[in-house]
């Protein structure tokens, strides 16, 4: 048997008081693996029997903490009680298949100088066969915390930051450790999924997160993740989530996989985004179009116009509920499509024949109806308020002039540049919306912007 503190302890330990029995009675596979573990320079442990009693070397005793040597001969589920579900998932796989497994950068906190600290491990776990069954487990580990810290610094400054900055309504960041099928996540992400934040930091099996996903979306989401892994691409997947409050939320997952030197996938890092508002807007728009399509061909035009106007009102209410500029721009694109549809309905292409005399079509939409003006006023106000810091100073007035109707937008002087947008593009977008609404209703809509 090897030399060292734990080797001496193994020789003198009262093994007869444990299910392992006296050393002289140990089966050959157990004795051989204990000698192997005691000779290892890195942490190594032998787990034996149904209760996983532990025999380990000096390096393993150190990772257990100042009193690590006192755990000799004890049951692993008791020693590792707070973290045992995570460790057991690895051991159960080896016991079930009888095959060895290994992995990198698995988070298992340990006691360092009386303080529980996050430590990442590369590990190798092998079965110990005896009497045609897996009677024990041989486990070696190597501390990779410094390597992971350097890696995370790079990831956070590059991939994660880029993803986070490109997203709105970010729920949180997550890391999926693929070999162990464990996900480590931040507090906000855990709470959104109804998980305990402390457990989420230490790692929760991916299956527990998937239990919160809508049953119809679990297989497509899993397929999207594995497709990204196998094809070395980023994942972009929308799915429904069932939070503890009984609601249904739409979530978008963005992320990418990282690989070991041999090409095997090791971890999947990404973010999740709440896209519920966007999905509501899309559903409202689809319902509006279905309603309009179901109307008889000769129905009066006014109800057709009211439908997209109602859709715009819904979209604008959603836009007013967020200060996120990216989300506002998405709503603006949808609103612009609806405004253009109103313009098409207001003045459809004239039907003509070569024999019939041409005449100007009579206006179908009453020029500048109060409903239309009200929606356009809300549209301009919503966009300006989402961009301005002094939102209470935003004012929109409607002025009737000989050449048409002018929407006068007044904002604080220090907000003027924000409202105009880069190279005046935001102001031009608002003018385009007004043009689309007014050009075919025998009116000219214009926009003036003033600083107050």
**Domain harbouring 208, CATH code:** 3.30.450.20
Q: Mean pLDDT over all residues of the chain?
A: 79
| Residue-level pLDDT at 322 | 61
Query: Rounded CA gap, 285 and 293, in Å?
Result: 12
Residue among 87, 155, 143 at smallest CA distance from 118: 143
Length of the chain measured in residues: 452
Domain annotation covers residue 391: yes
| Residue-level pLDDT at 2 | 63
- Across 143-157, 265-279, 283-297, 342-356, least confident range: 342-356
Are both 238 and 190 inside the same structural domain?
yes
Query: Rounded CA gap, 73 and 267, in Å?
Result: 34
pTM of the model: 0.40
Which structural domain, as residue segments, surrounds residue 35?
A: 5-142
Are both 177 and 263 inside the same structural domain?
yes
Are both 107 and 15 inside the same structural domain?
yes
Are both 296 and 441 inside the same structural domain?
yes
More confident residue, 309 or 62: 62
Are both 105 and 224 inside the same structural domain?
no
Are both 202 and 301 inside the same structural domain?
no
Q: Which residues pair with 170 in a beta bridge?
A: 273
| Residue-level pLDDT at 20 | 92
In the predicted model, what is the mean pLDDT of residues 263-288? 82
Please report how many Cα atoms fall inside a 13 Å half-sphere around the Cα of residue 228, on the Cβ side. Answer: 21
Count of structural domains within the chain: 3
Are both 192 and 231 inside the same structural domain?
yes
Q: Pick the last residue of a domain from 116, 142, 168.
A: 142
Are both 165 and 102 inside the same structural domain?
no
Q: How confident is the model at residue 433 (pLDDT cuts 50, 70, 90)?
A: confident
Are both 283 and 341 inside the same structural domain?
yes
| Residue-level pLDDT at 286 | 67
Are both 268 and 281 inside the same structural domain?
no
Each residue of 356-369: pLDDT tens digit?
Answer: 444 434 333 334 45
Are both 130 and 224 inside the same structural domain?
no
Domain annotation covers residue 357: no
Q: Pick the last residue of a domain from 142, 166, 199.
A: 142
Q: How confident is the model at residue 88 (pLDDT cuts 50, 70, 90)?
A: confident
Are both 107 and 131 inside the same structural domain?
yes
Q: Pick the last residue of a domain from 258, 274, 290.
A: 274
| DSSP structure class, residue 211 | T
Tell whether the torsion through CA atoms of 89, 208, 178 and 158 is positive or negative.
negative
């Amino acid at each position: 048997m090897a030399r060292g503190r734990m080797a001496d302890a193994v020789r003198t330990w009262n093994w007869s008081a444990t299910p392992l029995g006296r050393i002289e009675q140990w089966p050959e596979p157990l004795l051989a693996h204990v000698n192997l573990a005691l000779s290892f320079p890195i942490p190594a442990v032998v787990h034996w029997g149904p209760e996983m009693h532990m025999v380990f070397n000096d390096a393993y005793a150190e990772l257990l903490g100042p009193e690590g040597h006192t755990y000799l001969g004890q049951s692993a589920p008791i020693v590792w009680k707070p973290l045992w579900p995570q460790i057991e998932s690895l051991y159960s796989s080896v016991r079930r298949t009888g095959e060895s497994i290994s992995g990198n950068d698995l988070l298992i906190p340990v006691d360092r100088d009386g303080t529980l600290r996050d430590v990442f491990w590369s590990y190798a776990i092998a079965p110990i066969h005896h009497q045609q069954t897996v009677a024990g487990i041989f486990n070696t580990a190597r501390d990779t915390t410094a390597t992971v810290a350097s890696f995370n610094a790079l990831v956070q400054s590059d991939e994660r930051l880029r993803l986070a900055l490109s997203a709105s309504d970010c729920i949180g960041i997550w890391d999926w450790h693929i070999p162990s099928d464990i996900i480590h996540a931040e507090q906000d992400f855990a709470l959104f999924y109804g998980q305990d934040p402390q457990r989420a930091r230490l790692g929760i099996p991916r299956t527990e997160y998937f239990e919160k996903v809508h049953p119809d979306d679990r297989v497509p989401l899993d397929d999207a993740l594995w497709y990204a892994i196998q094809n070395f691409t980023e994942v972009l997947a929308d799915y429904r989530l069932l939070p503890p409050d009984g609601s249904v939320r739409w979530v978008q997952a963005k992320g990418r996989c990282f690989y070991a030197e041999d090409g095997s996938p090791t971890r999947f890092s990404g973010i999740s985004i709440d896209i519920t508002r966007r999905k509501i807007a899309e559903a409202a728009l689809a319902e509006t179009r279905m309603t309009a399509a179901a109307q008889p061909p000769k129905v009066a035009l006014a109800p057709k116009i009211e439908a997209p106007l109602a859709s715009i009102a819904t979209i604008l209410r959603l836009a007013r509920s967020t200060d996120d500029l990216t989300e506002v721009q998405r709503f603006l694109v949808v609103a612009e499509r609806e405004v253009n549809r109103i313009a098409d309905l207001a003045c459809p292409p004239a039907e003509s024949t070569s024999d019939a005399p041409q005449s100007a079509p009579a206006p179908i939409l009453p020029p500048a109806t109060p409903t239309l003006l009200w929606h356009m006023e809300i549209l301009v106000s919503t966009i300006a308020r989402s961009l301005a810091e002094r939102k209470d100073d935003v004012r929109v007035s409607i002025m009737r002039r000989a050449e048409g109707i002018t929407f006068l937008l007044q904002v604080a002087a220090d907000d003027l540049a924000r409202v105009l947008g880069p190279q005046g593009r935001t102001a031009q977008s608002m003018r385009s919306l007004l043009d689309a609404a007014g050009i075919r209703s025998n009116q000219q809509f214009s926009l003036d912007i003033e600083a107050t």
